[in-house]
Amino acid sequence: MNLENYSYVNLPSKTGNLIIDIKNLLIRNNKTEIFNHAESVAKTNINIARKYNLDENICELSGYLHDISCIIKPADMLAYAVGNNLYIDEAERKYPFLLHQRISKLISEKYFDINNLKILSAVECHTTLKEKPSSYDMALFIADKLSWDQSETPPFYNLLSDALKVSLQKASLEYMEYMIDKGLLLFPHKWFNEGRKYLHDNLKD
């Protein structure tokens, strides 16, 4: 994905410091709230990394990058996916903003030259998760939910925090079940369904 193809996207000069460059790109495009959310997710993900002996740098950068695609309009995300013959889930076709996780992965890779597969995978599925998720996938998935961009505390915060004390798998599944039970999913994404089934079938008591 070439950001220069979108005339409404302002591209500041890069400094060579990835976090500063992410911040500058978001703020230049009037996405300060998204940057604040990303910063919160990064901090939460670092704490998760410490608990589960994950690489803190990978978790931090995943947090900062996960919503970087918010600078692209959802309609353009869908047009890009169609134009490049990408798989498009029915949920993404109905709600194109759901593509943001996959577009964030592409921007991370193509614009910020990220080649760490753990970061790219986590960013790519941070909203829906996916089948056979890695520890880094689940860590970002959980950090994003615990650091949601609303003013009040998320209603599932205690449920998710308690489950996180047990395992990344349990916390991920608890959130997914909560969304199903409360009828909060806009539309079931294939990756969400596959991830939920995988965790349900493989979670050890």
Predicted model pTM = 0.95
Q: What is the pLDDT of residue 148?
A: 74
pLDDT attached to residue 186: 87
Residue 8 burial by Cβ neighbours in a 10 Å radius (0-12, 13-18, 19+): exposed
Once rounded to an integer, what is the mean pLDDT over residues 43-71? 98
User: How many CA within 13 A on the CB side of residue 10?
Assistant: 10
Mean residue pLDDT across the chain:
95
C-alpha 175/C-alpha 115 separation (Å) is 29
Four-residue CA torsion sign, 96, 97, 98, 99? positive
pLDDT number for residue 203: 81
pLDDT in tens, 177-200: 999 999 999 899 999 999 999 999
Does an H or E element contain 59, and which? helix 56-65
For 118-134, what is each residue's pLDDT tens digit?
A: 999 999 999 999 999 99
pLDDT tens profile 62-93: 999 999 999 999 999 999 999 999 999 999 99
Nearest alpha-carbon partner for 11 in 102, 80, 21 = 21
Which pLDDT band holds residue 106 (cuts at 50, 70, 90)? very high
N- to C-terminal Cα separation, the chain: 42
